[in-house]
C-alpha cells in the first residue's frame, strides 16, 4: 500500500487527457451522502454525463484545499475510481527519492 500521507493529493487534480469516471452508482452514493436526488447531484457537481466538475486549478470540486486532514469532502461517499486508485499498481505520483533529478 502506498503512503498517501505526505502527498498533496495529486490524484485529486485532473491530469491532461484524464478524467474521473462517475457511474450511476457513484451518483446515487453521493446523493445519499448529501441527502439530495441523483438529478441534483448531476446539476450541482457534474461537468458532463460522466465526469465531476473541476476548478480552474484542475482540482476536483470535492477537494478541500489546504492542510485539512480530510482533503476529500465526500470521502465516505467518494467515487469508485477514487476508492480503487492506484488500482493495485504502484502510485504513479510517488517517485523514489533516488529517482529524483
Tell me the CA distances in angstroms from 77 to 59, 62, 72, one per residue in order.
18, 11, 10
Q: Rounded CA gap, 39 and 26, in Å?
A: 12
- Kindly state whether residue 60 participates in binding ligand SF4, applying the rule CB under 6 A: yes
Task: Please say which residue, 39 or 59, places its beta carbon nearer to ligand SF4.
Answer: 59
Segment near ligand SF4 (CB under 6 A); pick from 34-42, 43-51, 72-80, 90-98 = 72-80
Provide the minimum distance between the beta carbon of 88 and ligand SF4 in the complex, in angstroms, as a whole number. Answer: 17
Q: Is 63 helix (H, G, I), strand (E, B) or coil?
A: strand
Strand pairing class (46-48; 51-52): antiparallel
- Scanning 32-40, 41-49, 55-63, 92-100 for contacts with ligand SF4 by CB under 6 A, the matching segment is 55-63
H or E segment and range at residue 52: strand 51-52
What residues make contact with ligand SF4 under the rule CB under 6 A?
12, 20, 60, 62-63, 72, 74, 78-79, 82
Amino acid at each position: 500500500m502506498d503512503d498517501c500521507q505526505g502527498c498533496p493529493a495529486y490524484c485529486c487534480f485532473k491530469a491532461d487527457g484524464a478524467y474521473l469516471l462517475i457511474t450511476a452508482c457513484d451518483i446515487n452514493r453521493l446523493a445519499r451522502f448529501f441527502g439530495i436526488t441523483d438529478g441534483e447531484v448531476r446539476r450541482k457537481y457534474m461537468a458532463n454525463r460522466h465526469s465531476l466538475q473541476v476548478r480552474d486549478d484542475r482540482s476536483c470540486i470535492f477537494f478541500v484545499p489546504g492542510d485539512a486532514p480530510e482533503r476529500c469532502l465526500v470521502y465516505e461517499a467518494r467515487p469508485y475510481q477514487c476508492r480503487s486508485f492506484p488500482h493495485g499498481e504502484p502510485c504513479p505520483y510517488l517517485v523514489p527519492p533516488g529517482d529524483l533529478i
